[in-house]
Amino acid sequence: MNQSKCRVCRGPAVIDLPRHNANFCAEHLQQLCRRQVEKAIHDHDMLSPDDRILVAVSGGKDSLAVWDLLAELGYRADGLYIGLGIGTYSDTSGQYAQAFADERELELITIDLRETYGYDIPTASKATGRVPCSACGLSKRHLFDRAALDGGYDVVVTGHNLDDEAAVLFGNTLRWDIDYLARQLPVLPAAEGFPKKVKPLVRLTERETAAWCIVRGIDYLLDECPMAHGNRHLAYKEALNAVEARSPGSKAAFYHGFIERMAPLLADRVDAGVELHRCESCGSPTTGDVCAFCRVVATASTHDPVPVEVVLNKAARKAYLAQMQEIS
Ligand code: AMP
Ligand code: FES
Ligand code: ZN
Ligand code: ZN
């Protein structure tokens, strides 16, 4: 069998990237990833060299890769891990985040939802009747903002990659949800009560961030969140992957075409007509009297703890229990 060769140096390749119509060795794969991240940062004015950066890290490949890439590119970046209390998934993800930080002597701030706010995501889901991912997303967004503002950080970085963003875009487009589309940008500027938020991995696919972790020797949690099993977001990813397999480069064209040509047309819809004031309880910006996060805390922290299996649908529970058996 022919050993495929790196496009740049003609040495043995470790990965083929059909969307670039090329193969790459470990060194030139890293060069490609670095360049794509630098280009995203530059094109969208994401970061300045002096920024104090807070990277939201989940222990998965994307957020560890982006933290590693930013450190490599010379940025000052601390990590923030939120313990969501999603059974062993959360315990393990926290260990990966901490091990990464320890090995590289990076600062990791940890917030445990149950310890600090008296609830976890399965309990919040049951107590409030929200789907788990909604209770989770709302809690994470609030805590990212709060930690960044309290800690004096200039910007919050998340590990959303091209696959994530294209899947969300696909979902928003299927529903023609114009307000979500208008806000689906790789940079959200700082506003009263909100830090700046950026996604430096929007030019890398999840296969590329996984490859980055492998060639850099980064251990990351492979498992998906058990609550995400079978959700719509994964269905959109699968649909886009089917298109990508037939027509490499489609995913990037879909997303970047939107950002370059469509998003500017929606600019006046961003935050149009929303009047915000301070939450009576925590001071965060909100449209009501008390913010959604404080309402979740009030309801969920007085509810008996609910184990993760209870809030999973049938298929997700089956997958979760199988995973547990593998671990034990
Ligand atoms: P997800 O919403 O799980 O797709 O995660 C999107 C991004 O949110 C990740 O790339 C991380 O930057 C961040 N994130 C997810 N989970 C956590 C967590 N438990 N703690 C801190 N950041 C997280
Ligand atoms: Fe938030 Fe799974 S990580 S619901
Ligand atoms: Zn090479
Ligand atoms: Zn509040």
Q: What is the tens place of the pLDDT at every residue in 31-84? A: 999 999 999 999 999 999 999 999 999 999 999 999 999 999 999 999 999 999
Residue 95, pLDDT > 70, answer yes
pLDDT at position 328 = 58
Nearest ligand atom owner, CA of 276: 4
Q: Cβ–Cβ contacts within 10 Å for residue 274, how many?
A: 9
- The sign of the dihedral angle between the CA atoms of 228, 266, 197, 145 is negative
Task: Indicate whether residue 311 lines ligand 2 (CB < 6 A).
Answer: no
Mean pLDDT, residues 188-199: 94
pTM of the model: 0.94
The protein residue whose alpha carbon is closest to atom 3 in ligand 2 is 225
Answer with the residue of higher pLDDT: 4 or 312: 4
The protein residue whose alpha carbon is closest to atom 14 in ligand 1 is 58
Ligand 2: centre distance to CA 138 (Å): 10
Answer with the residue of higher pLDDT: 320 or 161: 161
Give the domains, in start order, of the chain with CATH numbers: 44-327 (3.40.50.620)
Whole-angstrom CA distances from 245 to 190, 250, 266, 318 are: 38, 9, 30, 29
> Residue 137 CA: which ligand 2 atom is closest?
1
pLDDT tens digit sequence for 119-141: 999 999 999 998 888 999 999 99
pLDDT at position 308 = 87
Is residue 76 helix, strand or coil? Answer: strand
Ligand 4: centre distance to CA 278 (Å): 8
> Residue 136 CA: which ligand 2 atom is closest?
1
